[in-house]
Amino acid sequence: MVKPDGVQRGLIGEVIKRIEGRGLKIVSLRMNTISPDSAKEHYAEHAQKPFFNSLISFITSGPSVSMVVEGKNAIAVLRAINGATNPINAATGSIRGDLALDTGRNIVHASDSPESAKREISIHFKESEISDYSRIDETWIYE
């Protein structure tokens, strides 16, 4: 997901470029302003944390871009592309390492496990909105 700060800063294309450039495949994409109920469901694991209300307020403050991304080791690769949650600790070359300064405005979100991905995808997309296709360059990406 490109969060509202990334959208407002004009970084959607940069994020997509890094995802696709690495060889991952975007199979669904949507820009919308997430409803408070969907945001609370998406971030349910943080409900008891002190930053929960400000997180919900931020993520619903404007449009974000939700994506379903596939590829070999997609979760680990995407989290590496994003960089550490705290941009100060994010590696140079990662989205957060190159483009962010603050944990509360760190541009992107990625699921941390297959279970989280399945749950989060179901919040943002209907199954019929996810495309099943092969990229023509997959034979050059995977052995």
**pLDDT-based confidence at residue 35 (cuts at 50, 70, 90):** very high
Assess if residue 137 is contained within a domain. Answer: no
Assess if residue 59 is contained within a domain. Answer: yes
**125 and 28 Cβ atoms separated by less than 8 Å:** yes
Longest dimension (CA), the chain: 47
Assess if residue 132 is contained within a domain. Answer: no
Domain assignment of residue 80, given as a range = 4-125
Domain count, the chain: 1
CATH number of the domain within which 28 lies = 3.30.70.141
Catalytic option among 42, 46, 109, 124: 109
Distance CA 120, CA 139 (A): 29
Assess if residue 140 is contained within a domain. Answer: no
Assess if residue 45 is contained within a domain. Answer: yes
Assess if residue 136 is contained within a domain. Answer: no
Q: Kindly tell me the burial class for residue 100, based on how many C-beta atoms sit within 10 Å of its own C-beta (0-12, 13-18, 19 or more).
A: buried
Average confidence (pLDDT) over 43-64: 96
Span 65-90, pLDDT tens digits:
999 999 999 999 999 999 999 999 99
Classify 29 as helix, strand or coil.
Answer: strand
Span 90-104, pLDDT tens digits:
999 999 999 999 999
**pLDDT-based confidence at residue 50 (cuts at 50, 70, 90):** very high
Assess if residue 88 is contained within a domain. Answer: yes
Assess if residue 24 is contained within a domain. Answer: yes
* Whether 109 is catalytic: yes
